[in-house]
Amino acid sequence: DFQLKAVLDDDTVPKTELTEEQEEKLLAFAKADKTYSKNYDEILILLKTGLRISEFGGLTLPDLDFENRLVNIDHQLLRDTEIGYY
């Protein structure tokens, strides 16, 4: 039986979530920084929802249910070198 781990080292770094303090520092920086302040709302949404950037980029108005406070996430923004984003 071929095992990929027999040929490749597993060099993945375990992912850990931000602490509350780290999150507060990131948001404070984003809010105060001239470059990132224009994306503060997007950063906040990504942090609070756990959405991937491609999922966030793929959201459309029909995905948002304001009355029930729900977001339908069943697609993402993709990029193809020939046709662009879809």
Longest alpha-carbon distance in the chain = 55
| Predicted TM-score (pTM) of this structure | 0.70
* Res 69: pLDDT: 94
pLDDT value at residue 8: 86
Burial 53-73 (b: 16+ CB within 10 A, else e): eebbebbeeeeeeeeeeeeee
Write down the pLDDT at residue 78. Answer: 85
Under 8 Å CB-to-CB from 75, ≥6 apart: which residues? 55, 58
pLDDT, position 76:
86
Residue boundaries of the structural domains of the chain: 20-50, 58-86
pLDDT tens-place string over residues 33-83: 999 999 999 999 999 999 999 999 999 999 999 999 999 999 888 888 888
pLDDT, one tens digit per residue, over 26-36 is 999 999 999 99
pLDDT at 85 over 90: no
Contacts 24+ apart (CB under 8 A), 79-82: none
